Structure 1
Amino acid sequence: MSLSDGQRSTGVVAPADHVSLRRHNLAVVLRHIRDAGPRSRARIAADTGLNKATVSSLVAELVDRGLLREAESERGAVGRPGQLVELDGRRVCGVGAELNVEYLAVTALDLTGEVIIESRIPFDAAHLGADATFDRLAGLIEQAVAAIGLRGGQTVGVTLAVPGLVQSAAGILALAPNLGWESVDIVRAMTERLQEPTYHVSVDNEANLGALAAYAEFAAADPAAVRDLVLLTGAVGVGGGVVAGGQLQRGGHGFSGEVGHLPVAPAGGRCGCGRTGCWETVVGLTALLDKATDPDDPVRDVSLDVEQRLAEITRRAEAGDERTLAALADVGTWLGLGGAIVVNILNPDVLVLGGYFGALGPWLTAPLEEAIRDRVIAPDGGGCRVVCSGLGFTAAVRGGAQISLDSVFDDPTQVPTQVGASA
């Protein structure tokens, strides 16, 4: 890069520009390896437009920071095979932590997406209150950070996933109807409990983060296959995350995706938000359990892990229990009604069922697909496919961990060189 006359004469602008330019180029190379896979230095230069000498210098620094590593030699190359480089990032981890109505969960991923630690515990947050919930969640996060440290890793961020309206930039949980919380400064509360950590703490809606994780699932298999995706995630409440053109859609004020409050059953029951007839009153997990079980049924015990409870529902359905099957059929009908509305509005490539919807997919997918065929005005359901997420109840925490790691792909210099780390 050549300097302008003004830059030569002042001697001030050039150094700052050089630092920011190098930071930018480091990010370009690191993101390219993430998205395109292992590449030789020559191939990186050709793909990015950077010159070969610059790429060699950038790769050397990224290797020194522990973000890239040498891989096998390039196969099928004409002439001398090039040495490939690939993501390393075993030293760098992001953490996702979920606070939901009936459970808490934490997952840590390294830069390559490998799960370092994953845990979930039953927790009745709605009745135990915010302080007890934050205390327990902070303990789980500290355990994850300690595990990362034991393997010589660095935690670069923690992203909190919560069920409700979130003002992410301010760190505020504006409203969580099913928790009964309003205007909670959740980032501040957690930062205090984590004793003002060196890593960044942020908060986002759990369905948004789940949608990012679901999109990453598809992108890993074929980046061009899916560009528009909607995740419907079911627990006590129902949320939706929307990815359009490969980008998460948050809406004008960050409150998009509250599909659980579509007024699909005006004569129905009262929702946690205070209104009647919201979609989640007829398709949420509480609605299913009300239809399928008695009040004293062990399946309703919130001290049991949610997946254990759903495994019992699955067992009963597979055994042909009439009440369970009738409840699933009713939920499936209502799921189809609201799902068709979502598809008519957004026309996604894929409608992904997450949370408990995905766990009970064998009974819920067919009525949803039928409703999309019958109620979506576009031919063939607008081309939308219905799939069940393979992430289960880990989607939100994995999406949170991915968000935490994004800061490294945006600015690799926040990770010290290995010489600096040792010092």
Structure 2
Amino acid sequence: MTYKPPSRVRAGAPPAGSAALRRANLSLVLRELRDHPSLSRAHIAEASGLHRATVSNLMAELLERGLVREVGVEHAGAVGRPRRAVALHGAHVGALGMEINVDYIAVHGTDLSGRVLVERRVVYDAMGSGPDNAVRRLGLVAKEAVEAMRRAGAAPAGIAVAVPGLVDVARGVVTLAPNLYWRDLPLADQLASLLGPPRVPVRVDNDANLAALAEYTSGVAAGTPHLVYLTGEVGVGSGVIVGGELMRGADGFSGEVGHLQVDPNGTQCGCGRIGCWETKVGLAALVRAAMPEQAYGLPGMPVPDPGERVADIARGLASGERRMMMAVAQVGQWLGLGGSILANLFNPRVIVIGGYFASLAEWLLPHAQDQLRRLVVAAPAAQCRLVASTLGFGAASRGAASMVISDIIDDPTTIMDSPPRPAPY
């Protein structure tokens, strides 16, 4: 049986009043179900403030679209009629999250119910390949992921790509990614063209912003309304959650903390400036100090998986190698210094460190936390602490997939077709 992906409504003028209200109410019902394993229609009406008849009508539409399913009967005590419970479903609706970074491409594909359909990381020298080759490789990896998702019974209703740099989210254009040497790259349009029909909407966003969303929804500090996430890659960026909302700034370019100047007499950064924070704490800086013979950019040096580099350093640290211990202590001190700047600016409750920072947290955090305590102006009243992410190098691709799911929940009417029915035997 061939599988037809769910079609989506074409973008156009905003819907008129009644259509907009219905879309908002459908979204409201899905949000209630997203936060609970299952609910009866009566419970949804009580929680949402909608009339029971309205909820029943909305539920009929969501059942037809295959976004919810009935899961049994709920008994509300000895008195009263049993209530039929429903749960979020959408097993036929996929969300594909991707990340392209200096030395890898990551993939995280799920369906609307949260089932992980595909997850992998491909070692790739995106920095040295040039934008055209890198986008083509990204397209090939995306096609493989889409096919894997289709074989699992769900085709992506959307794709989101995380990139380490400044992104014009509305247009899907990478304005500047210094470590990839990309400038004004229309990534969303190019990737959509490479994937071909059926056309799937493609969004692009900053990697740290998407990782911050993943941390806020399902990470070690999930639900913390004031949170900063720090990427630990070759580059360093941050996503800032304030009052439970992602802070983007006036033009959507907030969070480029890796390019804060912390050492006017330091080395040149990929952005062209001198002494940026990522030249002190990025993975390239640590590798250069801990394993100079394997530094990034050496002629003829193959590009290993970043996890392998970090594992080599962890083994050296565990065995007490002096050069590695000194390198990590220095990075930890700079990490704490930069973290104190963020703590003084945003007053977060938690700074979550991800990527390689998390992998080496055992050795980095004591140095970083000491600097943080010493340099935060409001300490101890600020109560900010550094914690290690548990999402690993896949945080950004996971956050990208969750953004696609949020788009679907925001507007369920974009999913037009009911799920495929099994072929009769």
Same fold, TM exceeding 0.5?
Answer: yes
Where does residue 275 of structure 2 map in the other structure?
277
**Offset of 1:109 from its aligned partner?**
1.4
CA distance in 2 between counterparts of 1:32 and 1:328 reads 45
Q: In the alignment, residue 57 of structure 1 is paired with which amino acid?
A: N
CA distance in 1 between counterparts of 2:106 and 2:75 reads 42
The yes-or-no answer on 1:373 pairing with 2:373 is yes
**Offset of 1:73 from its aligned partner?**
3.7
Where does residue 189 of structure 1 map in the other structure?
190
**Offset of 1:197 from its aligned partner?**
4.2
**Offset of 1:37 from its aligned partner?**
4.2
Higher deviation after alignment, 151-160 or 297-306: 297-306
Where does residue 363 of structure 1 map in the other structure?
363
CA distance in 1 between counterparts of 2:350 and 2:73 reads 37
Q: In the alignment, residue 390 of structure 1 is paired with which amino acid?
A: T
**Offset of 1:134 from its aligned partner?**
0.9
Q: In the alignment, residue 152 of structure 2 is paired with which amino acid?
A: R
CA distance in 2 between counterparts of 1:340 and 1:402 reads 29
Q: Tell whether the 8 Å contact from 1:373 to 1:381 is kept in structure 2 after alignment.
A: no
**Offset of 1:213 from its aligned partner?**
0.5
**Offset of 1:20 from its aligned partner?**
3.1
Q: In the alignment, residue 22 of structure 1 is paired with which amino acid?
A: R
**Offset of 1:363 from its aligned partner?**
1.0
Where does residue 247 of structure 2 map in the other structure?
249
CA distance in 1 between counterparts of 2:410 and 2:86 reads 19
Where does residue 348 of structure 2 map in the other structure?
348
CA distance in 2 between counterparts of 1:131 and 1:37 reads 44
Q: Tell whether the 8 Å contact from 1:123 to 1:302 is kept in structure 2 after alignment.
A: no
Where does residue 7 of structure 1 map in the other structure?
none
CA distance in 2 between counterparts of 1:277 and 1:73 reads 63
Higher helix share: 1
Q: In the alignment, residue 130 of structure 1 is paired with which amino acid?
A: P
Does the residue aligned with 1:379 lie in a helix, a strand or coil?
Answer: coil
**Offset of 1:410 from its aligned partner?**
1.3
Q: Tell whether the 8 Å contact from 1:191 to 1:197 is kept in structure 2 after alignment.
A: no
Instruction: Evaluate the alpha carbon distance shift between residue 291 and residue 383 of structure 1 in structure 2; reply closer, same or farther with a 3 A threshold.
Output: same
Instruction: Evaluate the alpha carbon distance shift between residue 196 and residue 64 of structure 1 in structure 2; reply closer, same or farther with a 3 A threshold.
Output: closer
Deviations 1:180-224 (A, max 9, x none): 2211111122122112542201111111111101111159x864x
CA distance in 1 between counterparts of 2:330 and 2:277 reads 13
Where does residue 52 of structure 2 map in the other structure?
52
Instruction: Evaluate the alpha carbon distance shift between residue 287 and residue 381 of structure 1 in structure 2; reply closer, same or farther with a 3 A threshold.
Output: farther
What number of residue pairs does the alignment pair up?
Answer: 406
Where does residue 305 of structure 2 map in the other structure?
305
Alpha-carbon RMSD across the aligned residues, in angstroms, is: 2.3
Query: What is the percentage of aligned positions where both structures have the same residue?
Result: 46
Where does residue 90 of structure 1 map in the other structure?
91
What is the correspondence of 1:92-131 to structure 2 with a 5 Å cutoff? Answer: 92-131=93-132
Q: In the alignment, residue 64 of structure 1 is paired with which amino acid?
A: E
CA distance in 1 between counterparts of 2:365 and 2:382 reads 17
**Offset of 1:95 from its aligned partner?**
0.8
Does the residue aligned with 1:107 lie in a helix, a strand or coil?
Answer: strand
Q: Tell whether the 8 Å contact from 2:219 to 2:389 is kept in structure 1 after alignment.
A: no
Where does residue 239 of structure 1 map in the other structure?
237
Where does residue 390 of structure 1 map in the other structure?
390
Q: Tell whether the 8 Å contact from 1:372 to 1:381 is kept in structure 2 after alignment.
A: no
Higher deviation after alignment, 35-44 or 178-187: 35-44
**Offset of 1:420 from its aligned partner?**
8.2
Higher deviation after alignment, 366-375 or 262-271: 366-375
Does the residue aligned with 1:43 lie in a helix, a strand or coil?
Answer: helix
What is the correspondence of 1:332-347 to structure 2 with a 5 Å cutoff? Answer: 332-347=332-347
Where does residue 12 of structure 2 map in the other structure?
none
Where does residue 139 of structure 2 map in the other structure?
138
CA distance in 2 between counterparts of 1:289 and 1:309 reads 8
Where does residue 163 of structure 1 map in the other structure?
164
Q: Tell whether the 8 Å contact from 1:103 to 1:123 is kept in structure 2 after alignment.
A: yes
CA distance in 1 between counterparts of 2:419 and 2:95 reads 22
Deviations 1:266-305 (A, max 9, x none): 1111111111111011101111011101325799955321
Q: Tell whether the 8 Å contact from 2:288 to 2:296 is kept in structure 1 after alignment.
A: no
Q: Tell whether the 8 Å contact from 2:229 to 2:351 is kept in structure 1 after alignment.
A: yes
CA distance in 2 between counterparts of 1:113 and 1:305 reads 27
CA distance in 1 between counterparts of 2:47 and 2:365 reads 41
Where does residue 290 of structure 1 map in the other structure?
288
Deviations 1:136-159 (A, max 9, x none): 111111111112222221311111
Higher deviation after alignment, 339-348 or 305-314: 305-314
Higher deviation after alignment, 411-420 or 206-215: 411-420
Deviations 1:117-152 (A, max 9, x none): 011111111111111111111111111111222222
TM-score by length of 1: 0.90
Q: In the alignment, residue 273 of structure 1 is paired with which amino acid?
A: C
Where does residue 205 of structure 2 map in the other structure?
204
Where does residue 258 of structure 2 map in the other structure?
260
Does the residue aligned with 1:21 lie in a helix, a strand or coil?
Answer: helix
Instruction: Evaluate the alpha carbon distance shift between residue 175 and residue 50 of structure 1 in structure 2; reply closer, same or farther with a 3 A threshold.
Output: same
Instruction: Evaluate the alpha carbon distance shift between residue 135 and residue 370 of structure 1 in structure 2; reply closer, same or farther with a 3 A threshold.
Output: same
TM-score by length of 2: 0.90
Instruction: Evaluate the alpha carbon distance shift between residue 156 and residue 368 of structure 1 in structure 2; reply closer, same or farther with a 3 A threshold.
Output: same
CA distance in 2 between counterparts of 1:107 and 1:331 reads 30
Where does residue 404 of structure 2 map in the other structure?
404
Does the residue aligned with 1:268 lie in a helix, a strand or coil?
Answer: coil
Q: In the alignment, residue 252 of structure 1 is paired with which amino acid?
A: A
Instruction: Evaluate the alpha carbon distance shift between residue 81 and residue 371 of structure 1 in structure 2; reply closer, same or farther with a 3 A threshold.
Output: farther
Q: Tell whether the 8 Å contact from 1:38 to 1:71 is kept in structure 2 after alignment.
A: yes
CA distance in 1 between counterparts of 2:229 and 2:389 reads 9
Structure 1 residues without counterparts, runs of 5 or longer? 1-14
**Offset of 1:21 from its aligned partner?**
2.6
**Offset of 1:373 from its aligned partner?**
1.4
Deviations 1:285-330 (A, max 9, x none): 1110111013257999553211122111111111111111111101
Where does residue 217 of structure 2 map in the other structure?
216
